[in-house]
Structure 1
Amino acid sequence: MKGATFGEVFAVREFKVIFGSFVLLIAGDGIKMLALSVLVYERTGSPGLSAAAYMAGWLPFFLGGLFLLSLADRLSPRALMIAGELIRAVTCLLLAYAGLPVWGMLALVVATGLFSPVFFAARAAMLPEVLPGDAFVLGRSVLNVASAGAQIVGLAAGGAFLTFAGPPGALAVTAGLSVVAALVLRFGLPYRAARKAADQGAVRQTLQVNRRLLADGRVRGLLLAGWLPCVCLAGAEAMVVPYLGGQGQAGVVLAAAAGGMAVGEFVVGRFAAPALRERLSMPLAVLLGVPWLGFAASPGIGWAAALAAVGAAGLAYQLGLQRRFVDAVPEDVRGQAFGLQSAGLMTGQAVGAALIGGLGEVIAPGQAIAVSGAAGILVALALARVLRPAPDHVAAAPPAAPGDGASPRQEARRSRGG
């Protein structure tokens, strides 16, 4: 199968709209959670509550992913993405100016965050419809690179807005970004109908389809391959702050990790052919853990940043799984499948951070980071059968027909009901 190019990806108008709204989303979320964390700390003086506020936006992914994901296939994707932006805008304005108590602010973020996996799933599931064939994988690479850059820019911009306008002003800026993104989506994307009719309750259907997806050995293996190595990476990154004594140097190391991720995604996405990309999944997944072993030698900030950058570059292993995942899931539940992938990833990273954080209470932070790296290597080796593509997998998948949003395998799947 011929590999796509960045020029071909950005030539698709719908992708440019998805890309622009996604950058606004990630940057806005970075500003929002930073501003909320500072606002809570100003009111309470509690580091624990401030940290809880920073993580509150991600915690609902588990519940939303468990009970609500079927909405991603039962409703129009454009409507869902617009609804997500408007809900975020209203939430930010309420946090900034409604005078809510701290518990009320946290409850609001958690309640509105329950639908976040649905909004993310609608965006992710639309991508293979907009970008056929290998262009889909390259589109995912572009979004991952943009995510890393937008996180860095969002945190930096959030700090600037906090300095000049305070937390309410920073939250108002996020609300404005969300409104702009909603307008971009409304006038930039054409209407697309829902993939699946609402034939039962959303919660029941979500549970039923989740069981169906997890019962499929191929889908389950690809989900675990996408989740578990990242669990170990999150555990390592969670210990960077205590490793450096809580100093601002931790930001340098974490920024280096984000930069390494962006470089890895760009290089593998741009220069590796589709077949090579899939063969690289195994060695890159191992690379995700190896550099963190170096923290057992207590490196200084320079070496720590270099190790973190090299390790995070291994995240490009996921590019070799994306096409196989699209081929493996039935088209009529594609939105829920991508939502389950995202919700499991978010939940797993929180679990990994908690587990290695607990280990860091018993042993030195550098040793805990090294343990996390070793766990990542073992996980990659245990998942070797999934990470290594079947022989002739890519060769067996001819290019999708121009203008079609699915691969030929998916077309065949349509004829037998998904």
Structure 2
Amino acid sequence: MTTDATAALTAPLRNVEYRVLWAAEAISSAGDQLAKVALSILVYHRTGSALWAAVVYALTFLPALAGGLGLSFLADRYPRRAVLSVSAAAQAVLVGLMSVPGMPLVVLCLLLVAVQLAASPANAAQNAITREVFDDDELYLRSQDLRGITTNTVQLLGLAGGGLLVTAVGTSWALAIDAVSFAVAAVIVRVWVRDRPAAGGEHSTWFSATRWVFGQRRLRVLIALSWLVGLAVVPEGLAAPLAQQLHAPSAAVGWLLAADPLGFVAGAFLLSRFASARVRQRLLGVLATASLALLALFLLQPNLVLALVLLALAGATGAYIITVTATFSTWVPNDLRGGAGGLYRTGLRVAQGVGVALGGVIAEATGSAVTAIALAGLAGVALAIPTAFSWTRVRHTAEAGSGL
């Protein structure tokens, strides 16, 4: 990475508010990686049941969906700094209780549900504040690049060393570290992020943003582009059977899981370095289609090396999602941005969950993880092409309307 490229990518960090928001998210994300590993180990060791471990993992997903639709409007109704800091403080207390040794399993599950529900308004507030911090579209897009790179780097570090660290410090201490990370996030946000009045106030209600978003064709197309990620993540759910089918060692499961986020980091950097916001918007349809076409190449029955290359390239082109998310946030009025962001995030997570589930069903039916990935890619390309043409039309309309 050259000095100029580094300076361009880290330019948003010169803003104190963004620096605090970025640090708070990075710290809490790192803690969450530890917590997920710790919970899986804790529940499995206590029950000896893979089913219970899967149920607890599902509890990190399902409440977030309900909260994303039902609670994100709080980031419009109340001051966003307060929503973010209070939510982080609540999560610190709840995770702290989870870290108490010997906590009954049922109580542990209830606390986990509460933690995930509290995360929804926090995520909505964080996303909305970041758009308020930057008036310049280019700088805002770079800030989202940096967030994407950081999140995926934390995921890679979690894959590489999360289990080892939890084994070293123990599950209770790992959860305690997560609680501290939320507490730190709550404090630094409260101290260094500027207090702004509620963007929407009493006019913000349940699903008001949802109704508005689905009434806007250009936002519907952006949502459709984001849902294509649901097919792009199919390989993540099939990493273990894919490694076995490729006659690879057990360690290859980790390599296959790491290939996509590693490619994503590289792709986000290259887009941030070489493409303006306008150019990236024009490339959205092409990149979305390419990310899925690369998975369709699994029809070639690749060996392990080629599979890793295809997954990494799919991750790199899949970095288009940063531009989709940033454009969506920019095109939503500030007073609806929290609720609309919750809708967008929820749709993205549902698409990912459905995609992974369908990939598993197809792999089971065909007896081949490679075939399931290839079919997901083919189906994705068939959906991506008309979506790309729709995006071109709405983008042209948006550019004409802004006089650009």
Length-normalised TM-score, structure 2: 0.90
**Counterpart residue number, 2:216:** 216
Q: Give the number of the structure whose residues are more often helix, by fraction.
A: 2
Residues 159 and 179 of structure 1: CA distance in aligned 2, closer, same or farther (over 3 Å):
same
Confirm or deny that 1:345 pairs with 2:353.
no
Residues 198 and 254 of structure 1: CA distance in aligned 2, closer, same or farther (over 3 Å):
same
**Counterpart residue number, 2:302:** 299
**Counterpart residue number, 1:374:** 378
| CA-CA distance at 1:390 after TM superposition | 2.7
**Counterpart residue number, 1:161:** 165
Residues in 2 aligned to 1:323 and 1:199: alpha-carbon distance in whole angstroms: 24
Q: Which stretches in structure 1 are left out of the alignment for 5+ residues?
A: 400-418
Residue 390 of structure 1: which of 391, 395, 398 is its match? 395
Confirm or deny that 1:273 pairs with 2:272.
no
Residues in 2 aligned to 1:247 and 1:386: alpha-carbon distance in whole angstroms: 43
SS at match of 1:132: coil
SS at match of 2:62: coil
| Over 4 Å off, 4+ runs | 392-399
Residue 45 of structure 2: which of 33, 38, 42 is its match? 42
| CA-CA distance at 1:157 after TM superposition | 4.4
Residues in 1 aligned to 2:377 and 2:315: alpha-carbon distance in whole angstroms: 11
Residues in 1 aligned to 2:279 and 2:68: alpha-carbon distance in whole angstroms: 32
Opposite residue 123 of structure 1, the aligned amino acid is: Q
Residue 363 of structure 2: which of 341, 360, 363 is its match? 360
Deviations 1:190-240 (A, max 9, x none): 21221112257xxxx2223312221222222222222x2111012232112
| CA-CA distance at 1:7 after TM superposition | 5.0
**Counterpart residue number, 2:339:** 336
**Counterpart residue number, 1:411:** none
| CA-CA distance at 1:138 after TM superposition | 1.3
Deviations 1:320-352 (A, max 9, x none): 434542343222111111111111111221111
Residues in 1 aligned to 2:353 and 2:110: alpha-carbon distance in whole angstroms: 19
**Counterpart residue number, 1:235:** 234
Residues 86 and 237 of structure 1: CA distance in aligned 2, closer, same or farther (over 3 Å):
same
Aligned residues: CA RMSD: 2.3
Residues in 2 aligned to 1:336 and 1:369: alpha-carbon distance in whole angstroms: 34
Q: After alignment, is 390-399 or 181-190 more displaced?
A: 390-399
Residue 72 of structure 1: which of 72, 75, 78 is its match? 75
Confirm or deny that 1:189 pairs with 2:188.
no
Residues in 2 aligned to 1:383 and 1:59: alpha-carbon distance in whole angstroms: 28
Opposite residue 235 of structure 2, the aligned amino acid is: A
Residues 265 and 394 of structure 1: CA distance in aligned 2, closer, same or farther (over 3 Å):
farther
Q: After alignment, is 312-321 or 25-34 more displaced?
A: 312-321
**Counterpart residue number, 2:3:** none
**Counterpart residue number, 1:28:** 31
Length-normalised TM-score, structure 1: 0.87
Residues in 2 aligned to 1:191 and 1:208: alpha-carbon distance in whole angstroms: 24
Deviations 1:240-278 (A, max 9, x none): 222223933211111111110111111112210222111
Confirm or deny that 1:102 pairs with 2:105.
yes
Contact 1:277 1:319 in 2 (8 A): no
Deviations 1:281-323 (A, max 9, x none): 1111011112222333443332222111101112222244345
| CA-CA distance at 1:168 after TM superposition | 0.9
| CA-CA distance at 1:398 after TM superposition | 8.4
Contact 1:280 1:320 in 2 (8 A): no
Residues in 1 aligned to 2:273 and 2:342: alpha-carbon distance in whole angstroms: 26
| CA-CA distance at 1:37 after TM superposition | 0.7
Confirm or deny that 1:129 pairs with 2:129.
no
Opposite residue 57 of structure 2, the aligned amino acid is: Y
| CA-CA distance at 1:106 after TM superposition | 2.1
Deviations 1:23-78 (A, max 9, x none): 11211111111110110110111222223323321221221122222111012211
| CA-CA distance at 1:183 after TM superposition | 1.9
**Counterpart residue number, 1:114:** 117
Opposite residue 75 of structure 1, the aligned amino acid is: Y
| CA-CA distance at 1:22 after TM superposition | 1.1
SS at match of 2:206: helix
Residues in 1 aligned to 2:402 and 2:37: alpha-carbon distance in whole angstroms: 44
| CA-CA distance at 1:393 after TM superposition | 4.9
Residues in 2 aligned to 1:381 and 1:131: alpha-carbon distance in whole angstroms: 32
Deviations 1:102-142 (A, max 9, x none): 23322321233123221111001111111112211111111
**Counterpart residue number, 1:404:** none
Opposite residue 231 of structure 2, the aligned amino acid is: C
**Counterpart residue number, 1:416:** none
Contact 2:95 2:115 in 1 (8 A): no
SS at match of 2:143: helix
Q: After alignment, is 381-390 or 340-349 more displaced?
A: 381-390
Between the aligned residues of both structures, percent identity stands at 30
Residue 290 of structure 1: which of 270, 283, 293 is its match? 293
Q: After alignment, is 137-146 or 229-238 more displaced?
A: 229-238
Contact 1:229 1:288 in 2 (8 A): no
